[in-house]
Amino acid sequence: MFEICLENVRRNMPLIHNITNYVTVNDVANVLLACGASPIMSDDKEEVEEITSICKGLNINIGTLNHRTIPSMLLAGKKANELSHPVVLDPVGAGASSLRTETALRLIREIRFDVIRGNISEIKSLALGRGSTKGVDADMADAVTEENLSRGIDFVKGFALDTGCIIAVTGKIDLVTDGKTCYVIRNGRQEMGKVTGTGCQLSGMTAAYVAANPENKLAAAAAAVSAMGLAGEIAWTHMEKSEGNAAYRNRIIDAIYHMDGKTLAEGARYEVR
Amino acid sequence: MFEICLENVRRNMPLIHNITNYVTVNDVANVLLACGASPIMSDDKEEVEEITSICKGLNINIGTLNHRTIPSMLLAGKKANELSHPVVLDPVGAGASSLRTETALRLIREIRFDVIRGNISEIKSLALGRGSTKGVDADMADAVTEENLSRGIDFVKGFALDTGCIIAVTGKIDLVTDGKTCYVIRNGRQEMGKVTGTGCQLSGMTAAYVAANPENKLAAAAAAVSAMGLAGEIAWTHMEKSEGNAAYRNRIIDAIYHMDGKTLAEGARYEVR
Amino acid sequence: MFEICLENVRRNMPLIHNITNYVTVNDVANVLLACGASPIMSDDKEEVEEITSICKGLNINIGTLNHRTIPSMLLAGKKANELSHPVVLDPVGAGASSLRTETALRLIREIRFDVIRGNISEIKSLALGRGSTKGVDADMADAVTEENLSRGIDFVKGFALDTGCIIAVTGKIDLVTDGKTCYVIRNGRQEMGKVTGTGCQLSGMTAAYVAANPENKLAAAAAAVSAMGLAGEIAWTHMEKSEGNAAYRNRIIDAIYHMDGKTLAEGARYEVR
């Protein structure tokens, strides 16, 4: 299934509209090209509706959000909803400031997202902000581990049902769920955390995968998550002794560039719960 | 001739003012350093006239344009005109939104550009927007190919005469013309399309080449186009098996860094029509 | 001492708030991760005080400053002062426009900086703008060299006393002083000037080093400067024949990633004056 999802991206070459932060934007553009999609970045409120109309999917990322771009996010998201284009939210830093948490919550209220992808802290901030604290124990550590996996799955499923979105929580173990089915994915390497923007890249890729697989959005989102993790594993095998996180950044994108369906099918490590 | 153009960039080390998008800006800065020029990025309306005054050329790129930066583009361009500094326009995404098309057309009306560099779709959008549809057949495919080359040349020459600018259309075959003479350039590789920003980089380099060769602007623009394509060819020969578009991005800039006049003279593949 | 400063960064993993330019922001994020710190970028005035409150240090860089971000710099800097978080200023392009010079001077008046890091031209512009021309001879060349070293040290010490900040002037020879003690550092390679943003990266790293070594700010700033130069030396030894400034950019960050205290202690070349 992941195999087909990947191949559909290469076949359909979806154009993805990104309203994203200026820190990792270049890597998001290059990873979209690497996976077979095409990127366009645009954030002025006068053009975002028109730009998103010519695209197949929209990726909204609130890293370096500001008062000029927040209205653009809302306009683009609503237009994408109107056109039934898939929309992904990356709530970067939700919980780190009221502006980020409130903006993410407002986006979720006003836009219908197909996927929300973040780390567990960001997702918990949103769940708590919505008052949907069910499953969020005060003692639940921020990382999803083998030990607290069941509770993590319950929590993420609950948030998926509450919002009506696919939720993708990435970390040591990744969880991707629509509230009923949960993919538990064990690809990736911890060294990916030393590369800025692997999460942002994944959100862009998720928009491409979902756009190219409209009939299988959950599997597509899970495939994107697994592909990114697997790229981190493959890239690591190519690292030379003197190389560090800058080389790793490039090698991860390069691994996405070379990944075909068969590689993903063989390398994906997940269970469905 | 291309040889001298390249060497003049290394000799004169022109400082180039860039008002450019935040997606590819880092690569534009590094490619300018690689070719022997120096970059400065500045887009606040309060300082752009002063910044452009201390430079030797200006590169205006409308990717991620917004309402804060459009007035800055106009101010900087007019000041550069006043000082007779060469000005390059990269109309990224013209045709994709009214804001981009209208902004590009307004810039062309209010600023005297030495070179406009874009892909054929962008240039056609501008030509159509100006009502100069001569040569733009409805059936003309977007790509310039060996089959439609003559018509492509006529169209680009017509737009050059119409605007009074050197027009550089890049793609599989690149055309660079002042309306009379047209360089038809066959350097480059299609894999360059998988690297975000090779066009933006070329526009920055074109500003540097023209600034360093004020007596030979057409040849300078053609030399920049040829150098970028040749860098793509050379970089490809250095690619290792596991490398993809991220490595290619770096290797292209590195090929510009090492390119000398002799290499360009020997590697340039073009005819004059 | 430099050894301990470096190890404290890896041990304390300080979160650093960056208000920085969009040209080199990705490299700043990756170098912070490489040295053991964590980056967060945020520049909207509604959130910068909250963001800086959860961090351990603040890095303000005025490259691509604009009217939206200048008030954010002031707010964040004052909040960081209130919380006694270390604050670093990188006055990119001071002297190149009135906006930059005036903004840098205003920031220095209204915020208490722990370190100001720039090249000699930028620092001279600030010193002249403050009227503290003592030691700034009209004939003093812009570069600090072995020939004018004593005068350079006197000038930088004077500016440090005048502002009450640690001043780090980087170039062929780097000077880091609190006005009494001056570290004269001879690490680095001139090819680093062909990579955009090595100065911006250093400013980010300086914020991390000072934040992790609050009892030894001067040594910490000097250690950061030495580490960056040493990374440039180590990275150069890994360069392959076809590689240029793009590869060098990555290799420098990778050298920071692998650098341990012992490597820095052995590779640091400095004297105290």
Residue range A169-219, pLDDT digits in tens: 999 999 999 999 999 999 999 999 999 999 999 999 999 999 999 999 999
Average pLDDT over residues B58-83: 98
State residue A141's pLDDT score. Answer: 59
The verdict on A141 touching C (C-beta cutoff 8 Å) is: no
**Secondary structure (DSSP) of A24-90:** THHHHHHHHHHHT-EEEE---TTTHHHHHHTSSEEEEE-TT--TTTHHHHHHHHHHHHHTT--EEEE
The shortest CB-CB distance from A23 to any of C26, C46, C251 is to C26
Q: Which residue has the higher pLDDT, B130 or A225?
A: A225
Instruction: Suggest the residue from B196, B239, B250, B251 to mutate for an interface test with chain A (most A CBs closer than 10 A).
Output: B196
Phi, psi of B39 (to 5 degrees): -100, 150
State the smallest CA–CA distance between residue A67 and chain C in angstroms: 7
d(CA C6, CA C224): 8
The verdict on C52 touching A (C-beta cutoff 8 Å) is: no
Instruction: Report CB contact under 8 Å: C242, B256.
Output: no
Look up tokens 């990756």; give the residue.
Answer: C30
Look up tokens 């040290």; give the residue.
Answer: C153
Instruction: Report CB contact under 8 Å: A249, C30.
Output: yes
Q: Which residues of C touch B250 (CB under 8 A)?
A: 246-247, 249-250
For helices A25-35 and B245-258, the axis angle rounded to 10 degrees is 110
State residue A250's pLDDT score. Answer: 98
State residue B139's pLDDT score. Answer: 40
d(CA B146, CA B128): 23
d(CA B203, CA B193): 15
pLDDT at A138 over 50: no
Whether residue A229 is annotated as binding a ligand: the answer is no
Q: How many CB pairs under 8 A join B and C?
A: 89
Q: What is the pLDDT of residues B92-127, one digit of tens each?
A: 999 999 999 999 999 999 999 999 999 999 999 999
Mean pLDDT of chain C: 95
The verdict on B195 touching A (C-beta cutoff 8 Å) is: yes
The sign one gets for the Cα dihedral B208, B210, B211, B213 is positive
pLDDT at B253 over 90: yes
State residue C130's pLDDT score. Answer: 73
Sequence-ordered list of residues with C-beta below 8 angstroms from that of C82, at least 6 positions apart, any chain = none
The verdict on C228 touching A (C-beta cutoff 8 Å) is: no
State residue B132's pLDDT score. Answer: 54
Neighbouring chains of B at 3+ CB pairs within 8 Å? A, C
Q: What is the pLDDT of residues C118-163, one digit of tens each?
A: 999 999 999 988 765 444 344 455 789 999 999 999 999 999 999 9
Average pLDDT over residues A26-41: 98
Answer for the pair B229, A18: CB distance below 8 angstroms, yes or no.
no
Assign A131 a pLDDT band (cuts: 50, 70, 90): low
The pTM assigned to this predicted structure is 0.96
pLDDT at B130 over 80: no
State residue C132's pLDDT score. Answer: 56
State residue B63's pLDDT score. Answer: 97
List strands edge to edge, sheet with C15-19: C38-41, C15-19, C57-61, C87-90, C115-118, C166-169, C174-177, C182-185, C270-272
Whether residue A197 is annotated as binding a ligand: the answer is yes
Q: Quick one: three-class SS letters along A201-264?
A: HHHHHHHHHHHHCCCCHHHHHHHHHHHHHHHHHHHHHCCCCCCCHHHHHHHHHHHHHHCCHHHH
State residue B134's pLDDT score. Answer: 45
State residue A129's pLDDT score. Answer: 84
The verdict on C68 touching B (C-beta cutoff 8 Å) is: yes
- Alpha-carbon distances of B91 from B73, B86, B126, B189, rounded to whole Å: 12, 16, 9, 22
The verdict on B251 touching A (C-beta cutoff 8 Å) is: no
The verdict on A41 touching C (C-beta cutoff 8 Å) is: no
Average pLDDT over residues B205-232: 98
C133 DSSP 8-state letter:
-
Task: Give chain C's residues under pLDDT 70.
Answer: 131-141
Assign B141 a pLDDT band (cuts: 50, 70, 90): low
Q: Which residue of C has its CA nearest to A245?
A: C254
The shortest CB-CB distance from C30 to any of A97, A99, A245 is to A245
Q: What is the pLDDT of residues A85-111, one digit of tens each?
A: 999 999 999 999 999 999 999 999 999
State the smallest CA–CA distance between residue B147 and chain A in angstroms: 26
State the smallest CA–CA distance between residue C93 and chain A in angstroms: 21
